[in-house]
Amino acid sequence: MRYLYSAFLYLVVPLLLLRMLWRSRRAPAYRQRLLERFGCFEVPGQQAVPTIWVHAASVGETLAAAPLVEALLLAHPEHRVVVTTTTPTGSGQLQALFGQRVFHVYAPWDLPGAVQRFLRCLQPSLLLLMETELWPNMLHYSQASGCNVALVNARLSVRSARGYARIGKLTRQMLRHLDCVACQSQADGERFLSLGLSPAVLQQTGNIKFDLQLGPELVTRAACLREQYQAASRPILVAASTHPGEDALILSAFAAVRKTVDNCLLLLVPRHPERFDEVHTQCTLAGWQVVRRSSGAAPGSADDIVLGDTMGELLLLLSVASVVVMGGSLVPHGGHNVLEAAAWGVPVVSGPHMFNFEEVTRLLVTAGAMVRLEQSQLLDATLISLLSDPQRCRRMGAAGQQVVAQNRGAITRVLQLLAPYLPPGGTRE
């Protein structure tokens, strides 16, 4: 089955290249460093260094991996930590988080030759795949090279499980290459088992996204930004990581909010940078006064919207919010990480489509920290109700912070699970 899959991939390589060039019209980074997609790159420093490879596809997986990468850097300073992503946005987020402390390269396309070249260059002893990043050749050749493979913070939605079940034989082959699976919840684990995963390699460790730390430097920057945006005297609605089709819904709801909360500011943050100009145009055509975050200018009293057109700042921007609307949930994308808002003590509103974060959503909704709309059309009334009731927002925010605090500890459990595959660590000097 894997041979047929590989043959098909080789046939579609020209289409993959065309797709990259097409996307680069709006985001030039897609046509840069293309050789890395084929496993061709230079390794800085010594090649014969014990290496841990962490694969995080895009922004969401990179942010999820961040606490784990920090822990690995501290516990295993003798190792080189290599982090791969598949998108420029993931790459940008990684650079913002770690700079030169990790070696970043784009993950090779899942072609046999590309994967084998990558493995020969870096010779990793451990591969950590984040969440649901399962690739047949990456798994096969990593194990064949003597590299242990772990799926960390593993999650599997009902929808994804159905998709993997359609290619059952290939899925079972992939799962056999996993030395351990650290899953987020019991439900995720049961879905992996139903696809053929051996119970012997499965452990429930919880969601490492709960281990998010708001460091002193970030808290200080957040206080400055709140003062700059006059958050103490002006309600701020943050629409985070929006996708096509959601911005119009957000702007319509914002227009309704402004009829009741006339000084409310909207901070609108599209998920992908290639959409920044498009969303800016959409806002101005709707008649709003817009300031770009990239300009560095603080919004004045006459400004209606701040367009979040910078990379790697979402966690900081969430700190100014009175209420957060989570993108990817008003359209059937599956939502994004709501724990970043909860960590700041900010109430969250989502649409009905949170299937990638079902367990987190259940915990926050049950605690009264989040509102999950049954229909996206209910957004207007929900936002008006929340923004008109600061005391309710404070109660919701406190409940969210309590949920985050009560569910920490996954990082420690994951590191204990990985200990047999890594030598005892020291302390970074």
Which residues are identified as catalytic?
Answer: 61
> Do residues 85 and 110 make contact, with C-beta atoms less than 8 angstroms apart?
no
Residue 198 Cα to chain centre, angstroms: 27
Q: Which two tokens stand for residue 299?
A: 């919004």
Radius of gyration of the chain (CA): 22
Rounded Cα distance, 129 and 138, in Å? 10
Rounded Cα distance, 53 and 103, in Å? 10
Q: Which two tokens stand for residue 198?
A: 């051996």
Q: Which two tokens stand for residue 318?
A: 């969430």
